[in-house]
Amino acid sequence: MVSPSPGYAITFRVETPASFSASSDVTVAIGETGAAITGLDVVGSDQQSMIIDVSANARGLRHVEKIKAKVNSLPGTSVLRVSDQTFVMHSKGKLEIASKIQLRNREDLSRAYTPGVARISTAIAENNDNAWRFTMKANTVAIVTDGTAVLGLGDIGPEAAMPVMEGKAILFKQFGQVDAWPVALDTKDTEEIISICKAIAPAYGGINLEDISAPRCFEIERRLREELDIPVFHDDQHGTAIVTLAALVNALKVVGKTMADIRVVVSGVGAAGYAIIRLLMKSGVRHIRATGRNGVIVRTEEYTDEHRIWLANNTNEEGFSGTLKEAVVGADVFIGVSAPNLLDGDDIAAMNEDAIVFAMANPDPEVDPEVASEHAAIVATGRSDFPNQINNVLVFPGFFRGLLDAQATDVTDDMMVAAADAIAGTITDEELNPGFLIPSVFDPRVLPAVSEAVKQAALDSGLVKNIDMDEDVMNNKS
């Protein structure tokens, strides 16, 4: 049974009889449904009745209705209102604009705006590099989406994608001190998306592509990288690939295997699966089978999209043909970024000794983690309620922090590998064990490790602007 979750944090406003036991009767009733009570407050009272607010974590909307019915069944008791705290948190959005300066008087105003601001605009007009020195560009990222591949919800449109993009912006700021802003586009046209991104690029130091469906996402990222001089990063691909590689680096340490020797099966050949495979191969993995809905990708089949053609030509060198269940027999590693309940315990038992299972489909993974743990040495998921959560929040804040600090103009595989190694390296040998492969997103070691590794890799690549941000340079502008 799914555990109660803070994602379904509900406050029930309840009217009860004015008795000593009324509030405890309500909490007992709610507890009997399996909810996790988190708080109780008396918000009103008279000689006949009391009004109490009871907060609890539920398992889902059906569970909320079950709780409501249970409380209403108590004598003289009724639920007056149900408040979903997740919806309350999102009321009128989660973001706002905040100024870095205070306008205390006319002198401040004349510097921040006219007439003083004209001198800044003139300096930028004379040298566009000054936009990095004197505007938000140096620390700002555009989060661009068309809403076609949002979480597990699919094509829900740009408006419905906005809460996710706002959340992403909060994560950028919280974990990377990067100012990010959602740009939700009401178009699915590849050329139009590319054109819009190029048009808004002067205001941003980087572009994070988010929740754009495959295969269009591949073309959009490739073209923007070719045509812009700021880094473009599709997090659904590369963020997932980086954190997966980080987890695998540490998992292999635990089981005593090497990248060159392991046999890997990847379920899912969309944006994430494709990027994972490429990055694993960059890191020395030689034996990979990629599986889609119709089984293992093979060179003898004809594929219409470019990324599947690449997979056919670069994986499954032995020419194995078969289903996912057949493909995992004897494999050392299973990586799932696909769909729920594709494998069972027997499939995991058929893998090689000391098997590694990364079942990352959300909310329901490719195999039940508890069942998988009966046969595999290491199990990881994309969920927060199991050990070893593989979460790309570990990646993108620090990754863009490093890109911006280096004034990078592009993103390379070497930068991604450096980020993965940095994440893996935050776990010491003394800490490392089958239940602790990767750090928490709240681990303070992650941001400096990732940002510095990416910055150094960018500088080593030479793909940087080398704009002098020294204050003396800035102060000498006319």
Active site residue ranges: 113, 168
Q: Is residue 331 within 8 Å of 263, Cβ to Cβ?
A: yes
Rounded Cα–Cα distance for residues 451 and 466 (Å): 17
Element (H, E) at 117: helix 117-126
Sheet holding 295-296, edge to edge: 295-296, 287-292, 263-267, 333-336, 356-359, 378-381
Distance CA 435, CA 376 (A): 12
Kindly list the distances between the CA atom of residue 92 and the CA atoms of 19, 96, 99, 143, 448, in Å, as whole numbers in the listed order: 39, 10, 20, 19, 33
- Cα distance between residue 352 and residue 355, in whole Å: 6
CA dist list (Å): 402 to 176, 211, 407, 415, 464: 9, 23, 8, 10, 11
Burial (0-12, 13-18, 19+ Cβ within 10 Å), 349: middle
Q: Could you give the CA distance from residue 268 to residue 290 in angstroms, rounded to a whole number?
A: 7
Torsion region of 235: left, alpha or beta (phi above 0 gives left; psi -120 to 50 gives alpha): alpha
DSSP helix, strand, coil percent of the chain (3-state; round to 5): 40, 20, 40
Q: Which residues pair with 79 in a beta bridge?
A: 14
Asked if 145 and 210 touch (Cβ cutoff 8 Å), the reply is yes
* Cβ(172)–Cβ(180) below 8 Å: yes
- CA dist list (Å): 272 to 147, 188, 211: 17, 20, 11
User: Rounded to whole angstroms, how far apart are CA atoms 449 and 420?
Assistant: 10
Neighbouring-strand partners of residue 143? 182, 208
Do 219 and 156 contact (CB within 8 A), yes or no? no
In this structure, which long-range contacts are made by residues 22-25, counting pairs with CB atoms below 8 Å and at least 24 apart in sequence?
22/50, 22/52, 22/77, 23/50, 23/52, 25/74, 25/77
Contact (Cβ atoms closer than 8 angstroms) between residue 84 and residue 12: no
Q: What is the dihedral of CA 362, 145, 201, 138, to 10 degrees?
A: -40
Give the N- to C-terminal CA distance of the chain in Å, as an integer: 67
